[in-house]
Structure 1
Amino acid sequence: MKKLLMTLMAMMTCCLLDAQIIAPRILSDSHVMLSLEKQTRYLLLPVEEKAEIAHIRVLKDNNVCQTLNARLAVDKVDYFVPLELKKADLLDISFRGDRRTKGAMSELACWHEMKYVDEFDMTNREHFRPKYHHTPKYGWMNDPNGMFYKDGVWHLAFQWNPYGSQWENMTWGASTSRDLIHWDAQPAAIEADGLGTIFSGSCVVDKENTAGFGKGAIIAYYTSAGEAQTQSMAYSTDGGKTFKKYSGNPVLVSSVPDFRDPHLFWHAETQRWIMLLAVGQEMQIYSSANLKQWTMESRFGAEYGNHGGVWECPDLFRLPVRGTGQQKWVLVCNINPGGPFGGSATQYFVGNFDGHKFTCDSRPEVTKWMDYGKDHYATVTFDNAPDNRRVAIAWMSNWQYANEVPTKQFRSANAIPRDLDLFIDGTETYCGVMPSPEMLTLRGKPSKQLTDACEVVVTLKGSTEITLQNAKGEKVVMRYDAQKQTFSMDRTKSGDTSFSEHFPCTTVAPTHGQMKQLRLFIDRSSLEAFDGDGKMAMTNLVFPSEPYNTINVTNKAKVTIYPF
């Protein structure tokens, strides 16, 4: 009996410890310190998205080893995020804004809900999490970064907030894949330091050891976002598993406020590395022999294309032109705002690059969009892709509402990978966009039943209306107009559109000729439509309360459904 009582008392003590309120040392209405008394792997931080940001300094032996921002819960907890303690012993927390309107500091919900744990449960709890698109396990994600292929593995980094599902604490998250479809989460690739948080950038494979870190070293360039935006370098000698920051950072600086998103590639003809940087509303082009010292070569952008917002996330590469035996260069310029239907989008220019200067073939007023949906941004391509492929991945959201879409455990996915080439229509050359061939491997046996994760192939016989609908009457209506040579997608009644006035819309794209086949990729909360010949692409998010389970088409179009 005594042994039983002792066991029960021990169990009760453990429960009390797990349920105890973590008592902060209150220094003012906006400042507390929190002693870390348990040596577990993580402290779970309770997040409330409507709360104001708290600035957290993580200390060990009186030294600051990490800083971060989190929306610590005031009234209720929306979700938890893990803070890895690494034997830290103190948190110094400053709340922004006037705390006196929020009640007593000691009564904030976060102190009641913080937990010490050794494992963080990342089991999916989201109704809208895609089944076959890349997403972070938890937290916020935006631009794809540092994309390269080596030794059979595709490496994808991304702008990541580990401490909440809204934009903040920019870090390079990381994932790897052997087939461009199934992605494995990896430890963070590059984390903030004294120069700032880690904004967008790129990776290259230094095959000839031009930088001096070894043959085949992976060189990462990224924007350090501190008081100013500067360009920094890191390198990996283990195939991209871990990166070490270059001791000479920052490598490149500027007095211009918007100076970011370095994209690098090797230019064989001049035997030099080329770097593109987005600077305000232009692209600056630099060259280097060793990836350390850079020479300004030229600028591109004045009066060309769309200037409705800041230019971001550049890329520059050469592509074959269908049926000609020729190649041309494509300069990718993501822009926010200024997209064809509001918010962010990807524009591009076709022309020539001689290793020093990019010359656009089109007139300055011509604007070309890579995707005519609302949710396709920050498009960049993989370095060192096999078989001379040019494979692109984009962020599948829009800055108009990305922080408000109805998910909590995570926010944002990437669009499916796409292979690029060029085609001619009239006097202009355009970028062709095809779902990467790896997507075909997902196809199951043809079915008549629409599912929440599938590819729908529609064989068209002229103008056609295609409607996806569920039992609650939520629907998406797509229309192909053969006479006008346009394709449109209406998501105004697609499901939940209440979170932003900018979300309900109809997007319209030119088809550059007659469409004979439509390929439509459905995945819980997204629709990606492609012309079968790769002359049109349109990506839109949708948030139906239940999956669309019926598809109706007009004009005797033939529908084939491939469940994934």
Structure 2
Amino acid sequence: MTAVTATTPDAFRPAMHYAARSTWLNDPNGLIFHEGIYHLYYQNNPEGNVWGNMSWGHATSTDLVTWVEQPVAIAYDELEDIYSGSIVFDRYNTSGFGTEARPPLVAVYTSAFKPASELSGVQAQSLAYSLDGGYTWTKYAGNPVLNRGSSEFRDPKVFRFESDAESYWIMVAVEALDFKVVFYSSLDLKKWELLSSFGPANATGGVWECPDLFPLPVDGDPENLKWVLTINLNPGGPNSGSAGQYFVGDFDGVTFTSSSTVTEGLQAPDRLGDYQWLDWGRDYYAAVSFSDVPDGRRLMIAWMNNWQYANEIPTSPWRSPMSLIREVSLQSVDGTPRLVQHVARELASLPSVHPPFTADDTEIAEGKHLLDSAAGSVQRIEASLSTGTAEEFGVIVRGEGTRGTRIGIRPAEGRIVVDRRESGQTGFHESFASTDAAPIQPTGNSYEVTIYVDHCSVEVFAQGGQITLSELIFPASTSTDVSVYACGGTATINSLKVTQLA
């Protein structure tokens, strides 16, 4: 790892998160595990570090830890920008783009047609195929393959649906301004038939984008399978700006039926806290899952930024990282299946630089208390804390003096907060300095929190992954202190482990 300072152009480049070398990125696209390699495609401006010239960038990894940036995969041209979508392995060559011996990878993406096109202003779904494992792509001459004549029809997620009776492709896409998910089927990826739609429902404070649909067993029971529909929206998140929500229900190959809808139609403004959110932080958007991951694991990744200030964050020459990759599962919480998230085991087992700092059975007196020998800028912090008389207590990371990023518990409010008002550079946009909150309840009298800290981010996993908050931060390189604190009384450290990650 190369040492950097706050004035170095690459000062905030993450150590654990993927970021492009010198360009802009946003939504993850085309996520797939194929022939031993994880492929991460993404929205990319190959000519700059602000949004524009949308193409598919590309990175590969064999272990989800080290990523190699590849050449641009599918480039914009004078007729279209290449918006978000997905990739499938067409193992039976249903599309006819490959051969029986060499089945193709097929990308299904949104063509955003430009003025030079006869379809100017339309968003429609198109295909490209690869015969070399995902490195070079050929656009299908018959594009687009699905055109509703809409200017806001985008972000197709395609997967193979298999039942005892039949097998076919399913496309999940959105009519963004209508707050509607639309479902289509196809036998060959070229001809598509409308099946059904879902929405509006729950959060509708901004356009719907980047849907995903996948099955998960509840509590690991394969006989109790539920389907999870994720929908990202901008704005309208629980703490302002971009966010992602999810629904749990059933999918019969035609229709998704939600069992977790709180409000149908347009949302009630005061109901945001009642909906199921993928992440309560400001910087977790366009989350989608990988296809064909071994052992049936469901791995997700998101763009770690927020459209409120995305083009203005102080990183250079690159702009925007991806989140850490998470493994998601369904667990019963108070009798209801909820999405639970953990950092993928490949990242959760990163080696430590030296023996971790630990503390056990220690009272946190009122005030801020620096933890000697715990300082660092790339860390995993595992804490079990118990409430006492304090109104708020928690951990301060990337600190210097009295400043830093606070991750705190407010027991009387039933809230966990991430306060980044003193997290370093915050003045680049009026919306950035914030205190963001999520609901939390103790287990017994304890709160379990795991925090991943990087050069420009914190990702918080609370109560065994039932609650997550992801936030960008831009501290000085000298801001490495770790502290515990309590306000208005005392609290207790049951256990604390701070690991400096290699």
Q: TM-score higher than 0.5 here? A: yes
Aligned partners of 2:33 and 2:91: how far apart in 1?
12
- Residue 356 in structure 1 maps to residue 254 in structure 2: yes
- Residue 223 in structure 1 maps to residue 110 in structure 2: yes
Identify which of 338, 352, 376 aligns with 1:451: 376
- Residue 146 in structure 1 maps to residue 30 in structure 2: yes
Q: Amino acid of the residue matched to residue 383 of structure 2? A: V
Q: Which one is further off, 188-197 or 375-384? A: 188-197
Does the CA contact (< 8 Å) of 1:512 and 1:535 recur in 2? no
Does the CA contact (< 8 Å) of 1:170 and 1:197 recur in 2? yes
- Residue 560 in structure 1 maps to residue 497 in structure 2: yes
CA displacement 1:320-376 (0-9 Å, x = unmatched): 111655121000100001111111101111100000000000234252101010000
Q: Amino acid of the residue matched to residue 484 of structure 2? A: N
Does the CA contact (< 8 Å) of 2:32 and 2:293 recur in 1? yes
Q: Amino acid of the residue matched to residue 290 of structure 1? A: D
List aligned pairs for 1:277-316, cutoff 5 A.
277-280=173-176, 281-302=179-200, 304-316=201-213
Q: Amino acid of the residue matched to residue 192 of structure 1? A: Y
Residues 446 and 509 of structure 1, relative CA distance in 2, 3 Å threshold: farther
Residues 512 and 417 of structure 1, relative CA distance in 2, 3 Å threshold: farther
How many angstroms does 1:473 deviate by?
A: 3.5
Q: Which one is further off, 468-477 or 145-154? A: 468-477
Aligned partners of 2:238 and 2:465: how far apart in 1?
19
**What is residue 499 of structure 1 aligned with on the other side?**
428
**What is residue 189 of structure 1 aligned with on the other side?**
73
SS in 1 for 2:301: strand
Q: Amino acid of the residue matched to residue 260 of structure 2? A: S
Does the CA contact (< 8 Å) of 1:446 and 1:560 recur in 2? no
**What is residue 379 of structure 1 aligned with on the other side?**
287
- Residue 423 in structure 1 maps to residue 308 in structure 2: no
**What is residue 462 of structure 2 aligned with on the other side?**
531
How many angstroms does 1:446 deviate by?
A: 3.1
CA displacement 1:135-175 (0-9 Å, x = unmatched): 00011110001110012110000101111111010010000
Does the CA contact (< 8 Å) of 2:416 and 2:437 recur in 1? yes
Identify which of 413, 418, 429 aligns with 1:489: 418
Q: Which one is further off, 419-428 or 494-503? A: 419-428
CA displacement 1:25-82 (0-9 Å, x = unmatched): xxxxxxxxxxxxxxxxxxxxxxxxxxxxxxxxxxxxxxxxxxxxxxxxxxxxxxxxxx
- Residue 244 in structure 1 maps to residue 132 in structure 2: no
Does the CA contact (< 8 Å) of 2:171 and 2:185 recur in 1? yes
**What is residue 15 of structure 1 aligned with on the other side?**
none
Does the CA contact (< 8 Å) of 2:9 and 2:316 recur in 1? no
- Residue 550 in structure 1 maps to residue 502 in structure 2: no
SS in 1 for 2:212: strand
- Residue 276 in structure 1 maps to residue 172 in structure 2: yes
Aligned partners of 1:214 and 1:435: how far apart in 2?
38
Q: Which one is further off, 458-467 or 373-382? A: 458-467
Aligned partners of 1:473 and 1:206: how far apart in 2?
56
Q: Amino acid of the residue matched to residue 156 of structure 1? A: L
List aligned pairs for 1:109-188, cutoff 5 A.
125-188=9-72
CA displacement 1:155-202 (0-9 Å, x = unmatched): 000101111111010010000001111100101110113540111000
Q: Which one is further off, 523-532 or 290-299? A: 523-532
List aligned pairs for 1:401-480, cutoff 5 A.
401-444=309-352, 445-448=354-357, 449-462=374-387, 464-468=393-397, 470-480=399-409
Residues 372 and 476 of structure 1, relative CA distance in 2, 3 Å threshold: same
Does the CA contact (< 8 Å) of 1:380 and 1:394 recur in 2? yes
Q: Amino acid of the residue matched to residue 318 of structure 1? A: P
How many angstroms does 1:468 deviate by?
A: 2.4
Q: What TM-score does the superposition give when structure 2 sets the normalisation length?
A: 0.84
Aligned partners of 1:298 and 1:440: how far apart in 2?
39
Identify which of 383, 395, 399 aligns with 2:307: 399
Identify which of 93, 96, 99 aligns with 1:214: 99
How many angstroms does 1:521 deviate by?
A: 0.5
Aligned partners of 2:330 and 2:440: how far apart in 1?
14
Does the CA contact (< 8 Å) of 2:377 and 2:453 recur in 1? yes
Does the CA contact (< 8 Å) of 1:214 and 1:237 recur in 2? no
How many angstroms does 1:483 deviate by?
A: 5.8
Residues 512 and 218 of structure 1, relative CA distance in 2, 3 Å threshold: farther
**What is residue 438 of structure 2 aligned with on the other side?**
509
Aligned partners of 2:420 and 2:93: how far apart in 1?
50
- Residue 321 in structure 1 maps to residue 218 in structure 2: yes
CA displacement 1:409-461 (0-9 Å, x = unmatched): 01000000000111222353211111110113313143332211111111223
Structure showing greater Rg: 1
Aligned partners of 1:371 and 1:350: how far apart in 2?
16
Aligned partners of 1:512 and 1:312: how far apart in 2?
31
List aligned pairs for 1:32-43, cutoff 5 A.
none
Aligned partners of 1:452 and 1:294: how far apart in 2?
49
Which blocks of at least 5 consecutive residues in structure 2 are unaligned?
A: 1-7, 114-119, 264-273, 358-373
Q: Amino acid of the residue matched to residue 530 of structure 1? A: F
Aligned partners of 1:513 and 1:248: how far apart in 2?
56
Residues 308 and 144 of structure 1, relative CA distance in 2, 3 Å threshold: same
Residues 469 and 409 of structure 1, relative CA distance in 2, 3 Å threshold: closer
SS in 1 for 2:307: coil
CA displacement 1:197-227 (0-9 Å, x = unmatched): 1110000111222212235421101111112
CA displacement 1:9-38 (0-9 Å, x = unmatched): xxxxxxxxxxxxxxxxxxxxxxxxxxxxxx
**What is residue 91 of structure 1 aligned with on the other side?**
none
**What is residue 237 of structure 2 aligned with on the other side?**
339
Q: Which one is further off, 213-222 or 138-147? A: 213-222
**What is residue 161 of structure 2 aligned with on the other side?**
267
**What is residue 27 of structure 1 aligned with on the other side?**
none
Q: Amino acid of the residue matched to residue 204 of structure 2? A: H
Q: Amino acid of the residue matched to residue 423 of structure 1? A: Q
**What is residue 60 of structure 1 aligned with on the other side?**
none
Does the CA contact (< 8 Å) of 1:128 and 1:543 recur in 2? yes
Does the CA contact (< 8 Å) of 2:420 and 2:473 recur in 1? yes
Q: Give the percent of matched residue pairs that are identical in Structure 1 and Structure 2.
A: 39
How many angstroms does 1:284 deviate by?
A: 0.5
- Residue 520 in structure 1 maps to residue 451 in structure 2: yes
**What is residue 198 of structure 1 aligned with on the other side?**
82
Aligned partners of 1:140 and 1:319: how far apart in 2?
33
Aligned partners of 1:324 and 1:182: how far apart in 2?
33
Q: Amino acid of the residue matched to residue 43 of structure 2? A: Q
